[in-house]
Copies of this chain bind each other. A is one copy, B any other.
Amino acid sequence: MRAINRFNVLDTIRRAGSIARIEISDRTQLSTTTVSAITASLLDDGLILARTEGDLREAAARGRPRVMLELNPDAARVVGAKIAANRMVFVVTDFRGEVLSTLTLALRVDRQPIGVIADLIEDGVRRCVVDANLALDEIDSVCLGLPGVIEHRTGHVRTSPIFRETGIDFAKEMSERLGVTTIVESDAHAITLAHHWFGKARDLDDVVLVSLEQTLGLGVLHGGQLFRGAGGLSHNLGDLVLGMGPQGTVRLASLAGESAILGDQPSGRFAEAIRLGRGMAHAKTLIDAEDNALISAAIRAGEACGMALANIVTLFAPPRVILVGSSLALGQPFLDSLREAYSLAIPPSIKGVTELVFDQSTDETWAQGAAVVALRELYESPWGTTGPAPAL
């Protein structure tokens, strides 16, 4: 009971940024007494701070001024990372999820042996922590956002474009290397939570996010919780089947995946750009220069995405869908054909239910999302509940 209310109060403070006790009691429907008790214990545990200034009511406010409460940034530190095929981005954040330091490594880890990848990640985490003027033992938790099908609950990576192997217990591997609790999560889930905390889903507890990167991912937020499959499985949109062609199934990835759009670029400047993770940006300049092959690839991809998107909306009927990922950088041809295919494919019965939002988040935001995954688990953990009774 207390644990639940504690979490609710903490989360209310987080959402508000800065809020008085009365206001908390208003929003959580708890009595001011209870709120006072809980906030006292949170203050005691150092999870929140009180600030006397900052009462934002009408200037001519009478009565005892409110004491604003906010998260204590120093209550915890976590590392979040976005691991992609050609780059890794690490962030260290404080308890609020604010970024303290960032590190981007432009590396092609694609299909390297696990050991190598783990080495690189370990290195990145350590360096990013040092950059934040911290030591590793001051970090409470690490979360790695990976593309592919991730089983968050068990820490297994079922399949991922960056691994040759399948079914790796990567959470355990990295936990042991770092000596810090490390969890894994789908990169799409990470960016979904990033939007929930800081981005375009701040006002919603139900939202669907589609990530169009090298891998096509999906994040479904339902009642403020990530919707995960059995075992905490993440989804892989790229595996969606769009049709049966003569040579087997046609999957979304084969039309709208990065390599499908950019094609095989054996060498040259384009290939170089792709290797550096600027494939889409380069493609955009080529499209602006009217490269017809690319334009038609972008249109095909947009149509496929629009169709898949309509199907997802048909199934989940969220009030908002957020589209993110490097493919958005393709610009007009891609976006227009996506929108058109979507509006053609969306069934009339749920027209108007869902709003489409596009967002070009930076890699840092993705990593921040991974940090949020880690923070959420910290929030929910019993912490040092002042009293003896731990959570059920």
Contact = CB atoms under 8 A, between A and B. Distances in A.
Interface in A189-223: 206, 218, 222
A288 B205 CA distance: 51
Copies, count: 2
A317 B314 CA distance: 17
Interface of A is mostly: mixed
B307 A244 contact: yes
Interface stretch (A57-65, A228-236, A268-276, A368-376): A228-236
A344 B249 contact: yes
Contacts of A159: 348-349
Given A222-B227, A230-B319, A235 B307 contact: no
Given A166-B349, A227-B222, A349-B166, A311 B311 contact: yes
A389 interface: no
A188 interface: no
A349 B316 contact: no
B239 A349 contact: yes
Interface residues of A, number: 47
A230 B314 contact: no
Contacts of A344: 244, 248-249
A317 B151 CA distance: 11
A149 interface: yes
A107 interface: no
A317 B235 contact: yes
Interface string A68-92: 0000000000000000000000000
A315 interface: yes
B244 A303 contact: yes
Interface in A149-165: 149, 158-159
24 contacts: A1-B1, A149-B349, A159-B348, A222-B227, A229-B316, A229-B318, A229-B353, A230-B317, A230-B318, A230-B319, A231-B317, A235-B314, A236-B347, A236-B349, A237-B314, A239-B314, A241-B307, A241-B310, A242-B242, A243-B307, A244-B307, A249-B344, A311-B311, A312-B315
